[in-house]
Amino acid sequence: MLTGIQIAVIGGDARQLEIIRKLTELDARLSLIGFEQLDHAFTGAVKEKLDEVDFTNIDAIILPVAGTNLEGQVETIFSNEKVVLTEEILAKTPEHCTIYSGISNAFLNEIVKQSGRKLVQLFSRDDVAIYNSIPTVEGTIMMAIQHTDFTIHGSKVTILGLGRCGMSIARAFHSLGAKVKVGARKSEHLARITEMGLEPFSLSNIQKEVMATDILINTVPQQIVSAGVIAKLPPHTLIIDIASKPGGTDFRYAEKRGIKALLAPSLPGIVAPKTAGQILADVLTQLLQESTTNRKGNA
């Protein structure tokens, strides 16, 4: 149980609702910032504006998967209020206060460091990333079907990156009958691709390897699908970029060439927000319970 624990949930999308539901069931007290347009009410949770919250009593802050932008603004789907997280806000919290976010950036890292608080990036955990790859795969398949006029079966699919999502996507498209090749940098990843019965290639040869691609799926959070790469693609190629914003594709050049390129970060929150939220809620409750137990043990 999380009885007596005060948590600030700041912004987010439908995934946060599952987190809120789980935390209130465990008897935590919640301040919900950026949820005033949400019709549903949760027992033990109070909708507040950012300047109404007493952060001196907050034991944990839960941010959306994307965390903040580089100006500190937090995305708020259920509010028109501009919510900005600052170092001054974090400094008001107790020293044991932990900030939970899906991913981070230079701004969030800096204000957490300057305030002396702890940041936990949920998506850096293997369990979260692997569970999350399931709705990501389903969303990628959905987009491939919606935006092409040919079957996945028999199509030539090129996947960039063999991380936790890349591996799941490669396996799924292979199972659907696609001719799958996967690009990676590490020799062990190239060996794994071979072991999976797929065609491996080094990302250093990307321009040569994409020339016959029907569907190009990027998972690498760097601009790897450059103008030079796009210039080698057939005109009918569909690019699906699931890397975190701003993605790894030169979308301007893709548009110039008339190639359809879709940026699709946070697919789990779009295609399966309930499942994606439950994944995050389960991990968060485990971490919060462990943190509470450790704090009481050290008291």
Convert the pLDDT of each residue in 145-191 to its tens digit: 999 999 999 999 999 999 999 999 999 999 999 999 999 999 999 99
| 127-265 has the same fold as 6-124+272-298 | yes
The predicted structure's pLDDT at residue 107: 97
Q: Which residues of the chain have pLDDT under 50?
A: none
Q: How is domain 6-124+272-298 classified at the architecture level of CATH?
A: 3-Layer(aba) Sandwich (3.40)
Q: Where are the domains of the chain?
A: 6-124+272-298, 127-265
Cα 61 to Cα 65: distance, rounded to the nearest angstrom: 13
Cα 136 to Cα 272: distance, rounded to the nearest angstrom: 9
Q: Report in angstroms the alpha-carbon separations of 72 from 54, 75, 266.
A: 19, 10, 19
Euclidean distance between the first and the last CA atom of the chain, given in angstroms as a whole number: 18
The predicted structure's pLDDT at residue 298: 65
The predicted structure's pLDDT at residue 137: 97
Cα 264 to Cα 127: distance, rounded to the nearest angstrom: 21
pTM here is 0.85
Pick the CATH number of 127-265 from 3.40.50.720, 3.40.640.10, 3.40.1280.10, 2.60.40.420: 3.40.50.720
Cα 121 to Cα 132: distance, rounded to the nearest angstrom: 14
Cα 56 to Cα 30: distance, rounded to the nearest angstrom: 14
